[in-house]
Structure 1
Amino acid sequence: MEFTVYLAGEIHSSWREDLKEEAKKLDLPLSFVGPMENHERSDHIGEEILGEQPDKILRDDAASAVNNLRTELLMKKSDLVIALFGEKYKQWNTAMDAGTALALNKPLILIRPEELHHPLKELSNKANVTCTSIEQATKILSYIFETE
């Protein structure tokens, strides 16, 4: 049995590749999907498809419409969502994606550093599991496939 995992979170670091590599080392039957990782493309996809917009707000709205469609479709097709809250970047998209996963009743693993315990306590309480590292999340994934 293979599961599809939606990887929600910031797109500026290599955390997705790190998690995929850990899963590969453990030979886990997983496929991964997630947001557009090319930030420039993500920001401009609305105008690329729908045409030039008259101002920055409408440009952002057009891009958001296309990106939200992508997120909703890929998340609905996923079996599980992993949302990473890093230490460096603002995490609005991660919070939105984690909330969407909960609204869709998708199992959710939340990765967050201990320093973010307090601001994420309610979200953490709703997640199926909260951990502090990619390695822990990968071990959780591995446990799903254990038989004894």
Structure 2
Amino acid sequence: MKLTVYLAGEIHSSWREEIKDLVKARALPIEFVGPMENHDLSDRIGEEILGTQPNPILRDDAASSINNLRTQVLMNKSDLVIALFGKEYKQWNTAMDASAAVSLGKPLILVRPKELHHPLKELSRKANVTVESVEQVIEVLSYIFSEK
């Protein structure tokens, strides 16, 4: 059995690479997908495809439509969603993706530090599992494949 896992969360730190490296080290049969990690491309994709937009709001709308399509397609093909909330960056997209996973009935692992317990309490209760670290994510993923 091989799982496809959608990695939802901020795109500015290396948390995805950390998860991928730890999964590879344990030889877990997991394929990863997620949002566009090239922030500049994500912001300009609407104009690259649809042409120059008349103002910044319409530029954002055009890019958002294409980014939302990407997210919907990849999340729908995923077996599991991991949503990471960190301390440093605004987390609106993470909240949107985690909520979408819940709405789609996708199993959800929510990663959040203790400091974010209160603001994420409702979402955490909707997740299948809530953990505080990437290492705990790897333990949960490993357990899925455990036979003993």
TM-score (normalizing by structure 2): 1.00
Offset of residue 87 of structure 1: 0.6
Match of 2:6 in 1: 6
Offset of residue 21 of structure 1: 0.4
Match of 2:39 in 1: 39
1:1-148 pair list within 5 angstroms: 1-148=1-148
3-state SS, counterpart of residue 4 of structure 1: strand
3-state SS, counterpart of residue 102 of structure 1: helix
Structure 1 residue runs of 5 or longer lacking an equivalent are: none
Q: Give the length in aligned residue pairs.
A: 148
Offset of residue 57 of structure 1: 0.3
Offset of residue 91 of structure 1: 0.1
**What do residues 84-139 of structure 1 show as CA deviations (whole Å, max 9, x unaligned)?**
00110000000000000001100000000000000000000000000000000011
Structure 1: which amino acid aligns with 2:14?
Answer: S
TM-score (normalizing by structure 1): 1.00
**What do residues 58-107 of structure 1 show as CA deviations (whole Å, max 9, x unaligned)?**
00000000000000000000000000001100000000000000011000
In the alignment, the residues of structure 2 paired with residue 42 and residue 23 of structure 1 have an alpha-carbon distance, to the nearest angstrom, of: 27
Structure 2: which amino acid aligns with 1:109?
Answer: I
3-state SS, counterpart of residue 59 of structure 2: helix
- Percent identity (aligned): 71
Runs of 4+, deviation exceeding 6 Å: none
In the alignment, the residues of structure 2 paired with residue 51 and residue 104 of structure 1 have an alpha-carbon distance, to the nearest angstrom, of: 32
CA RMSD in angstroms comes to: 0.3
